[in-house]
Structure formats: C-alpha cells, structure tokens
A and B are shown apart, each in its own frame.
Chain A
Amino acid sequence: MDDAAVIAALRARDERVFEELMRMYNASLLRVAQIYVASRAVAEEVVQETWIGVLNGIDRFEGRSSLKTWIFRILTNIAKTRGQREGRTVPFSALERPDAVPEAAVDPDRFLSPDHERWPGHWATKPEPWPEERLLATETREVLERAIEELPPVQRAVISLRDVEGWSSEETRNALGVSETNQRVLLHRARSKVRQALEGYLMEAR
C-alpha cells in the first residue's frame, strides 16, 4: 500500500489498516521514543499518544512529507515534551555532533603502537574466526540483545532501525532528524560495540 492508499483508508476509519500500521512502526517508534524518555513504560505511553495524534491529525495531513516522516515527527515532539517534563534532555551532541567525543571501534590495546618501527597501528591480537555453530545459539542472541540494550539511546535507535528493522539510511535519518554523516557515525559506533560484545562472548567461552 502506498501512502495515499493508507491515508485514504485511515480517513475512512479502516481499523485493519490502522492495526497494520501500528504493527509496522511500533518497534521503531518505541526505540526513537527511548532516546528522549528514560523508561520503557513512558516510551510506550509516548507511542500511544503518538497514534492518538495521528488519528486526530490524519484528516488535516497535507502530505508534504511522507506519512512515516510525519508520524515520527509527531512522536519526537511528544517524546521531547515528556523528556523535558521528566527533567531529562538529550545532550545536543548525541544527535547533532556525535563525533564531538571520539570513540574507538576497537580497543586501542588490540593494536601495536603508532610508532612501532615495523608494524605501526597493526593488529597486536588479530580477530579470530567465530565458531560458526554457536552463532545462532540462544545464548549468543541474548548477548547480542543485551549489547544493543546497553548502547547509548541514540546509537540503539539507529542500529534498531537500520539492522533490526532493515530500514534504509534515508528512512532512518528522516525518522531521527539527523544528517547522513551523523547517522553513519552512530551506526558505526553501535555496530562496532555490538561486534565487540559478540567477540568477547564467543572467544572467551571457547
């Protein structure tokens, strides 16, 4: 269904389409809400309020952005207000200047020193192949889930949208209101940390 069809169906009060739309976006809406509010419970409330806002606004929606972008804008506004009321503000740098604080993808100790005479900056301890048979084990999945939960909220949102939901970088950056470069920086940090967590688990338990 394209946007026009979904909008028409919502305006016609088609419950099935509304349900489908919720199923499609709830996970991502939750992740983005969690950038601004502390608890999962409040994030759920924000998502609920968002859908009420969508219903109340759909008859007046002019389609100047995609439906998806519009829905996420409603969410972001509600989540920001809730976050402020909770006394929680997202550091400006988290979204606008993620590279302001440098972060290494790999622990610097894994590399030889930059002034090593023969191999500056080369692996001191190389990554070893992961045991294939354990990649799909339940425990590995739990390690992965925990690593994602422990990410800073903005990084968690980006990796959830891109890699769990399979959104494009453009969809992700529109939903979050970040630039292409920042989206990529955030994705890089998220993926790097998750890889590191998997490596830590898979290598130590070998």
Chain B
Amino acid sequence: MSASIEQLSCQELVELVTDYLEGALPEAERNSFLHHIEGCTGCREYVSQMRETIALTGRLTPADLSPEAEAALLAAFRDWKSR
C-alpha cells in the first residue's frame, strides 16, 4: 500500500466521486484519486457503480404533463393566437 493511498481513505474518496466525474478536482487531488482507485478494488467498484447509476438514470422516461393539461395549453395557445 503506497503513501498516497494512505492519504486518501475510501471514506474520503466516495465523497469526491462526483467532483471527479465532473472534472472538477484540482490536479493534485485528481492524482491521488486516480492513484487510490488503481490500488483499491472496492473504490474502483464504487466508481463503476456510480457510472452505472448515471447510465440507468439516463434511460428513465422524463415526467410529463397530463394529457389534459397539455390539451388545455394548446387551447390556451389558440386563444392567445386569435387575440
């Protein structure tokens, strides 16, 4: 186990995952992040689960207005148009 893995614990790493995925980690922190996951299967799995979570969320169908509300809005549009 190398010194920089000791510097960043797993408990600390999980709090940095979003900053890492967003490209928002300063270089030094990013390096210790990468170094840590290189040597730590648990954290590597954690990061991959976060990516899976994001991918699965991306497959969801967005919420939508009820058809009635949408129809009412189109009627409102026609009303506005005729003004």
User: CB within 8 Å of B: which residues of A?
Assistant: 13, 15, 18-19, 22, 26-28, 30-31, 44, 47-48, 51-52, 55-56, 104-106, 108, 111, 114, 120-123, 126-130, 135-136, 140-141, 144-145, 148, 159-160, 163-166, 169, 184, 187-188, 191-192, 194-195, 198-199
List the A side residues contacting B31 at CB < 8 Å: none
CB-based nearest B residue for A34: B63
Within 8 Å by CB of A164, from B19, B42, B58, B69, lies B58
A144-B56 in contact (CB<8A): yes
B18 at interface, CB cutoff 8 A:
yes
B19-A13 in contact (CB<8A): no
B9-A122 in contact (CB<8A): yes
Within 8 Å by CB of B56, from A15, A123, A198, lies A198
B64-A106 in contact (CB<8A): no
Within 8 Å by CB of B53, from A22, A55, A108, A198, lies A198
B60-A127 in contact (CB<8A): no
B2 at interface, CB cutoff 8 A:
no
List the A side residues contacting B62 at CB < 8 Å: 27-28, 160, 164-165
Q: Size class of B's contact patch? A: 35 or more
Taken together as a complex, chains A and B put the C-alpha atoms of A51 and B77 apart, in Å, by 9
Taken together as a complex, chains A and B put the C-alpha atoms of A19 and B70 apart, in Å, by 9
Taken together as a complex, chains A and B put the C-alpha atoms of A189 and B62 apart, in Å, by 20
CB-based nearest A residue for B81: A13
User: Can you spell out 21 A-B residue pairs with CB atoms less than 8 angstroms apart?
Assistant: A15-B77, A26-B63, A30-B64, A47-B65, A51-B73, A55-B76, A55-B77, A111-B11, A121-B12, A122-B11, A123-B43, A126-B42, A127-B42, A129-B45, A141-B59, A141-B60, A148-B57, A163-B54, A163-B57, A165-B62, A191-B50
Taken together as a complex, chains A and B put the C-alpha atoms of A128 and B40 apart, in Å, by 13
B17-A105 in contact (CB<8A): yes
List the B side residues contacting A130 at CB < 8 Å: 49, 52
Within 8 Å by CB of A126, from B41, B57, B76, lies B41
A30-B9 in contact (CB<8A): no
A135-B56 in contact (CB<8A): yes
CB-based nearest B residue for A40: B63
CB-based nearest A residue for B48: A129
B34 at interface, CB cutoff 8 A:
no
B78-A15 in contact (CB<8A): yes
B22-A184 in contact (CB<8A): yes
B60-A121 in contact (CB<8A): no
Q: Known pairs A18-B74, A114-B9, A195-B50. 18 more at Cβ < 8 A? A: A15-B74, A15-B78, A18-B77, A19-B74, A27-B63, A28-B62, A51-B76, A52-B76, A121-B9, A122-B10, A126-B41, A127-B46, A136-B56, A165-B62, A188-B18, A192-B17, A192-B50, A194-B53
